[in-house]
Amino acid sequence: MSAFTFSKLVIFGVGLIGGSLARALRERGAAVQGAEVIGVGRNARSVERALELGVIDTAVTLDDDAALAVALAGADIVLIAAPVAQTRTLLERIAPHLDAKTIVTDAGSTKSDVIAAARAVLGERVRQFVPAHPIAGRESSGVEAALPDLYVGRNVVLCPLPENAPDTVACVAAMWQATGAVIGEMSGEQHDHVFASVSHLPHVLSFALVDQILDTPDAELKFSFAAGGFRDFTRIAASSPEMWRDVCLANRSALLAELDGYTEVLAKLRAAIDAGDGVALETVFARSRAARKAWQERGGNHAGAAPGAASAALDAMPDK
């Protein structure tokens, strides 16, 4: 695959994800001489801040249709890096100004809803839309948190559509590879099933633990003595409430199934604690510890993990 270069990149939502992509492409040499990065935001404040930081070259607001038309004219790639609930509205704004050669992609944490929105809005031009999800982030949000190396060694999942030409998918893959990311592919349905388990559920649990403590009369005392375990478990509760509200609602079926499964495990652990069954507790803890160690030893959430490693660790432990 040839090296990725671009002349005009338009980013809807120049926060952590969109801003990090812009910085990575520019600072890692993907931008050709005179290339332009245009940021589009709901309000002037967010995109003007990105302009001040040098993350983008031009700032446009969604309510300025004339400027939006100029921004999209001749664009190589358009990235939608906004909360998933905004995807359909943004596609509706993009569609009237979409050049035939412009590729549109996204960075949303859910895919089935995004794909449905793209089909509804773009019709036959859905061939220009490549669903994607960079598996990277920080608890901090906003363009100030953007990093040029955020994607180095991280997975980016593409969910190509049957209508996509191979060259279109390859271009989006090359863009993310230019940031240092590693590319994987799966269907939109499989994506939502997998990430309900390993991403969406953990965020819900993290938010829930903090909320539970807040509802206790001695919450301040508890927070004052919270240490490493609490910090590690609740780090992601500092994430964007708006984004995770949208993710939960967009992927509700898969997430509800994961919540039900987790509730069953909690019920078993509660019963073991209530019965004083140390053997049952240790069996679950040991099985989980082995799987967690295997996952960490093969790179954790960085790319390149061998899919069977955790399964082997699980098979070596007693059944629940």
In a domain, 105, yes or no: yes
**Domain CATH for 145:** 3.40.50.720
Q: Which residues, including other chains, have CB under 8 Å from residue 47's CB and lie 6 or more apart?
A: 14, 39, 40, 41, 56, 59, 60, 61
CB of 4 within 8 A of CB of 29? Answer: no
How many domains, the chain? 2
Query: pTM higher than 0.75, yes or no?
Result: yes
In a domain, 239, yes or no: yes
In a domain, 320, yes or no: no
Q: Which residues, including other chains, have CB under 8 Å from residue 197's CB and lie 6 or more apart?
A: 254, 258
Same domain, 155 and 181: yes
pLDDT at 253 over 60: yes
Residue ending a domain, choose from 186, 205, 220: 186
| Residue range of the domain that includes 276 | 191-315
Q: What is the DSSP letter of 120?
A: H
CB of 98 within 8 A of CB of 72? Answer: yes
Same domain, 137 and 196: no
Same domain, 22 and 171: yes
Same domain, 204 and 174: no
Residue ending a domain, choose from 186, 208, 236: 186
pLDDT in tens, 85-100: 999 999 999 999 999 9
Same domain, 173 and 259: no
pLDDT at 110 over 70: yes
Rounded to an integer, the average pLDDT of 104-124 is: 97
> What element of type H or E holds 278?
helix 278-297
Q: In whole angstroms, what is the distance from residue 315 CA to residue 318 CA? A: 8
Across 53-67, 131-145, 198-212, 270-284, least confident range: 131-145
Q: In whole angstroms, what is the distance from residue 272 CA to residue 279 CA? A: 9
Q: How distant, in Å, are the alpha carbons of 184, 206, 240, 241, 286 from that of 123?
A: 26, 39, 31, 32, 51
Q: In whole angstroms, what is the distance from residue 247 CA to residue 135 CA? A: 14
Same domain, 239 and 172: no
Residue ending a domain, choose from 133, 168, 186: 186
